[in-house]
Amino acid sequence: MVVGVLGAGTMGAGIAQVAAQNGSEVVLVDLNKEMLTKAETNLDKVLARLVEKDSISEDEKINIQGRITYSTDIHDFKACKIVIEAIVEKLEVKHSVFANLEAIVSQDCILASNTSSLSIASIGSVLKNPTRVIGIHFFNPAPLMPLVEVIPAVQTSDATLNFSKELISNWKKVGVICKDTPGFIVNRVARPFYGEALRIYEEGIADFETIDWAMTSIGGFKMGPFTLMDYIGNDINYAVTESVFEAFYYDPRFKPSFTQKRHKEAGFYGRKSGRGYYNYAEGAEIIAPNQDSNLGYSIFERILVMLINEAIDAVFMNVASIEDIDLAMTKGVNYPKGLLKWADEIGLDMVLSKLEVLFTEYGEDRYRPNPLLRRMVKEGKSFF
């Protein structure tokens, strides 16, 4: 089977590698020849490292490389069974590209988008046969991150969905199905990890170092929120927050933060610019966190209950199943536990009472406990 990948940037190159490593023939197309050359050279390096580590043989390396055809011409997608688009995140561009693609590919070719934030229904609206559109959202770096969100739009046929689910599982990825809603699962449920951490900082409760320490040492997260935002880039992370906020009709739960906006405006993007919340210059001063355990616990619990409330909202609004929401957060962003399982462990009544304390103190909608949480506590239920 031939798989088309459009866009040979960070994501497209990674998706092409996943496909080829799992036996699919790949046509990788980019308008920019340099990006194709870069993708080919990078893949050679990555595979050479895998050979060194004995993860694959030299023959396998050659076979994987032989399965990818690099091209600047989308007409080379003619024989594809599916094309996954991973080009710039601009709706107008995706619209024109999808209309062009449909004129080239076969009647039953599936047209998928790797978009992080755009509506799949809107992308599919330009197609004569919109039942073939679907979202297939990989995480960066695609060859390493196990999670893939599969997003059927209102127009998507069962055949398109079933084919996509099977493909993802053949590529040995963990597929979760989610509704075509802003941020899908991960980028919606994870918002408080950043937003509440920023809020705690803005209120002067603790500095970046202390909040990061609380979330890693007490919470067991691999990275603290500020280290992670610096890693993702404050420009990118702020843009996602703003787009989710707008897409949810300005729901105060998703309100972006001035602190992050100012960091972005100042060019303090994080690791890639040498400075973010932290200074990455050689010899820069390292500030020790305040390791007061009461403070640490209160920071961790506040962020955790906000995350749980968001995960519960995703269940409440039927964005995905309980199992898939927990899988998404553990396999897509490496959370130490699924948030709903975590909620069961703490006790839903405890989660509710902590949220109620915040809601009463602040009087802000941001802290309103989800109706499903209230209902489950009243009925003495748990998620698992």
Sheet with 174-177: list strands edge to edge. Answer: 68-71, 25-29, 2-6, 82-85, 110-113, 133-138, 147-151, 174-177
Residue 93 or 266: the one with the smaller Cβ distance to ligand NAI is: 93
Asked whether position 32 contacts ligand NAI by CB under 6 A, the answer is: yes
Does residue number 235 form part of the binding site for ligand NAI (CB under 6 A)? no
- C-beta closer to ligand NAI: residue 78 or 375: 78
CB of 12 to ligand NAI, least distance (A): 6
Asked if 86 touches ligand NAI (CB under 6 A), the answer is yes
Q: Is 165 helix (H, G, I), strand (E, B) or coil?
A: helix
Give the range of 103-111, 132-140, 171-179, 265-273 binding ligand NAI by CB under 6 A. 132-140
Q: Is 323 a catalytic residue?
A: no
Cβ-proximal residue to ligand NAI, closest one: 9
Is the distance from CB of 343 to CB of 310 less than 8 angstroms? no
- Opening angle at CA 242, ends 239 and 248, nearest 5: 140
Task: Decide: is 7 part of the binding site for ligand NAI (CB under 6 A).
Answer: yes
Determine the size of the site formed for ligand NAI (CB under 6 A): 23
Rounded to whole angstroms, the Cα distance separating 138 from 142 reads 6
Select the span of 26-34, 57-65, 212-220, 330-338 touching ligand NAI (CB under 6 A): 26-34
Report if residue 12 touches ligand NAI, rule: CB under 6 A. Answer: yes
Half-sphere exposure of residue 1: CA atoms within 13 angstroms, side-chain side: 14
Task: Work out whether 291 is an interface residue with ligand NAI (CB under 6 A).
Answer: no
Which listed residue (2, 11, 145, 215) binds ligand NAI by CB under 6 A?
11
Closest CA to 102 of 68, 71, 125: 125
Instruction: Assess 239 for contact with ligand NAI (CB under 6 A).
Output: no
76 counts as binding ligand NAI under rule CB under 6 A: no
Single out the residue of 41, 140, 169, 382 in contact with ligand NAI (rule: CB under 6 A).
140
Which residues partner with 382 through β-bridges? none
CB-based contact 3:27 (threshold 8 Å)? yes
Query: Would you count residue 55 as binding ligand NAI (CB under 6 A)?
Result: no
**Sign of torsion, CA 94 95 100 105?**
positive
Q: What ranges in 67-218 are assigned the alpha helix state H?
A: 91-104, 120-124, 158-170, 186-189, 191-202, 208-213
145 counts as binding ligand NAI under rule CB under 6 A:
no
Phi-psi region of 141 (alpha: psi -120 to 50; beta: other; left: phi over 0): beta
Compute the distance between CA of residue 23 and CA of residue 1 in angstroms, rounded to an integer: 9
Interaction between residue 334 and ligand NAI (CB under 6 A)? no
Which residues have a catalytic role annotated? 116, 137, 149, 187
Positions touching ligand NAI (CB under 6 A) are 6-12, 30-32, 35, 86-89, 93, 97, 114-116, 137-138, 140
